[in-house]
Amino acid sequence: MDPIAVGFGLAVLATLLGSVAVVRRLYRPERPWGEAARARLLWGVPWGSIVVLVGVCCVYLFVQDGITDFADPVTIPYRAWSYFAPLGMLTASFSHAGPSHLLGNLAGAAVVAPIAEYAWGHYPDKERGSRLADPRVRALVVFPLVVVAVGLATSLFALGPVIGFSGIVFAFAGFAIVHYPIPTLIGTVGLQGALLTVLQALQSPITVHVAEASPPEPPSWATIAIQGHGLGFFIGIVLGVLVLERRSRRPNPLHLWLAILLFGFGKSLWAIYWFGGENTFVLLRGPGIVVVAILAVVVTVAVTGSATPLLPRRLRRSEGSVDRTTADRALELARRSADRTGARLERVAAIAGGANVGRRHHKRAAFLAVLLVTASLAGVAVPTNLLVIDGETTADAAVEIEGYTVTYEEGAQNQLVSPVAVGPLEEAVSMESSGVIVSSDRHQVWLDAVSSQQLAFSGEETVYVGGPGWREGVTVERTGWEPVGNETVYQVWLEGGGEERQLAHESTESTADARIDDRNVTVATEDGEFLLEVSHQNETAIVPVPAENELATADGIAFEREDGTIYAVSNGTEVPIAAEETYD
């Protein structure tokens, strides 16, 4: 390791620790932080959060085989593909697409999970004497099990083949924000970014970046699993509200509203989008902002709203006397029954009394709205997850590995975004994909693993398929020639699965803009071989592209290949015709 980088890393760490020490001497809280933490956490440590974070790292290393190649784990079988692919559904919320994805989610969880665990606490209702009240059980068993349950919910009701811990991170944030709005806001919007920056600085204190071309890629907001994030956030809010009600606590309404609003904006919960045609994405930014603003108010009322009736008194008076009398009688009967059978039926009586719309409280109505939003976010994914993916392919070549089929196709109908005929929006909800396609009937997989643009940029990619305990790669290679002034002619080859290298795709021919002796020169590909076609007066002469520093002749024109460029030579004139495609 570079000693200079190590030195700067140590300097970063020393500076931060020194800053903390200085502020610690200046700020003397009435109740030390350690004492406050020990009052709610076993020995003042968020053991449940630590267990969960270690578990996520273990999934990445040992289930996804990140220990073999940390930069390129196996991801395809661990996405939430379908209810008919249980492995993905069980593991999607705890798996990750790569190191940066893992590090980002770990940093987010490291900030909000301890806040959520502190809010829940390891020492509740000690007088109950229940085994679940044991702080060790709550810290090391109950909290991790609740996280697993939330993770299963966010993957079972995920829209699309999601992967990642972020749904659970948003659930942590939702739970924490209703208990401690401002600390959660500061942690998620400020501290998380600072933590990532510090970790990157410790890893690479000095980096050099060179401006260079990059492959076309979707906008950043189109890579966000917005439905999964929203679902996790609302699951956390619902759980948080239930705990608050049980403990008869209520946060500051202004703090809560402001925290939810800024969190929604800062974490892109407004980024509602859909797919257009190939490489087209539709962002509903305005509607998304409106949705976040409305939901911030609804959640604030659900958590901190008053118990006043929803309708004004004059409207309640206008209700039919028969309905009011009927409701009152039902309420009275329920209360009498509650007195005889126990305290639980008293809650039923309260619900019966709230059945009358005129008497429904602001807080109860808002909480029902929150439940409705949560159910809607979950329910929208059910039809998609019940679909069966048809993995059959019409591609010219395919690599078959343990039920997976790897092909290269252009203009293939994306089976994850089914076309829906809805009048003028018909084209906006259909999508074609071009690139390396991984499909499987057995595993219910259909994935555009490498786009055609990415392959054109890199020239070679390796796609890994696998499962618990195994992985196997398929190498995809593109080679091509660029005629002067026209489109590239290229071939795509596949190799893997113990099979020989095979041709997967050939593009159409392309003619160079230059003319030599009134002749057109066209670059073509046929059966895995690049050809030069010389056309003149309805006659065509064909010759293979010559090897490096060799000549080939067609219809009186000599073609010479030198340093990756083909030159046409005729009557002492030398003109470049095509250049070999280069890759980054």
Are both 429 and 485 inside the same structural domain?
yes
Are both 19 and 66 inside the same structural domain?
no
Q: In whole angstroms, give the CA distance from residue 518 to residue 143.
A: 79
In a domain, 545, yes or no: yes
Mean pLDDT of the chain: 83
In a domain, 225, yes or no: yes
316, 358 Cβ separation under 8 angstroms: yes
Q: Could you give the percent of the chain with pLDDT greater than 70?
A: 83
Domain boundary among 285, 304, 323: 304
Are both 500 and 439 inside the same structural domain?
yes
- Return the pLDDT at 366: 87
Q: In whole angstroms, give the CA distance from residue 122 to residue 138.
A: 6
Q: Which amino acid is at 127?
A: E
DSSP string, 176-219: HHHHSHHHHHIIIIIIHHHHHHHHHHHH-SS-------------
Residues 37-85 have pLDDT tens digits of 888 889 999 999 999 999 999 999 999 999 999 999 999 999 999 898 8
Taken in order 317, 322, 327, 328, is the CA torsion positive or negative?
positive
Per the structure, the complete domain to which residue 11 belongs is given by: 1-30
pLDDT confidence bin for 195, thresholds 50/70/90: confident
Query: What SS3 state is found at 85?
Result: coil
- Return the pLDDT at 3: 74
In a domain, 409, yes or no: yes
Are both 61 and 26 inside the same structural domain?
no
Mean pLDDT of 22-48: 83
DSSP string, 117-182: HHHH-S---GGG--GGGSHHHIIIIIHHHHHHHHHHHHHHT-SSS--SSHHHHHHHHHHHHHHSHH
In a domain, 327, yes or no: no
In a domain, 369, yes or no: no
Domain boundary among 278, 304, 330: 304
Taken in order 89, 92, 97, 98, is the CA torsion positive or negative?
negative
Check whether 27 has a pLDDT greater than 60: yes
Check whether 570 has a pLDDT greater than 70: yes
Are both 454 and 558 inside the same structural domain?
no
Are both 51 and 86 inside the same structural domain?
yes
Check residue 516 and give left, alpha or beta (phi > 0: left; psi -120 to 50: alpha): beta
pLDDT confidence bin for 87, thresholds 50/70/90: very high
- Return the pLDDT at 426: 46
In a domain, 276, yes or no: yes
- Return the pLDDT at 419: 45
- Return the pLDDT at 344: 47
Are both 20 and 110 inside the same structural domain?
no
Are both 25 and 95 inside the same structural domain?
no
Tokens 């290393």, located at residue: 61
155, 89 Cβ separation under 8 angstroms: yes
- Return the pLDDT at 125: 63
Tokens of 265: 């904006």
Are both 149 and 252 inside the same structural domain?
yes
- Return the pLDDT at 353: 41
Are both 228 and 88 inside the same structural domain?
yes
Are both 15 and 58 inside the same structural domain?
no
Count structural domains, the chain: 4
- Return the pLDDT at 525: 93
Asked which of 5-9, 348-352, 377-381 is least confident by mean pLDDT, the reply is 348-352
Are both 52 and 2 inside the same structural domain?
no
Q: In whole angstroms, give the CA distance from residue 340 to residue 565.
A: 95
Distances (CA, A) of 449 to 181, 287, 388, 422, 457: 39, 31, 19, 29, 15
pLDDT confidence bin for 469, thresholds 50/70/90: confident
- Return the pLDDT at 348: 39
Tokens of 58: 């273990």
In a domain, 313, yes or no: no
- Return the pLDDT at 357: 40
Mean pLDDT of 121-150: 81
Q: Could you give the percent of the chain with pLDDT greater than 90?
A: 45
Domain boundary among 504, 531, 547: 504
Check whether 102 has a pLDDT greater than 70: yes
Query: Which carries the bigger pLDDT value, residue 293 or residue 273?
Result: 293
Q: Which amino acid is at 347?
A: R
Check whether 319 has a pLDDT greater than 50: no
pLDDT confidence bin for 351, thresholds 50/70/90: very low
Side-chain half-sphere exposure of 245, counting CA atoms within 13 A: 15
Residues 528-560 have pLDDT tens digits of 999 999 988 778 889 999 988 888 888 888 899
Query: Which carries the bigger pLDDT value, residue 222 or residue 357?
Result: 222
Mean pLDDT of 85-103: 93
Tokens of 103: 């590090």
In a domain, 343, yes or no: no
For residue 26, the tally of other CB atoms under 10 A from its CB is 6
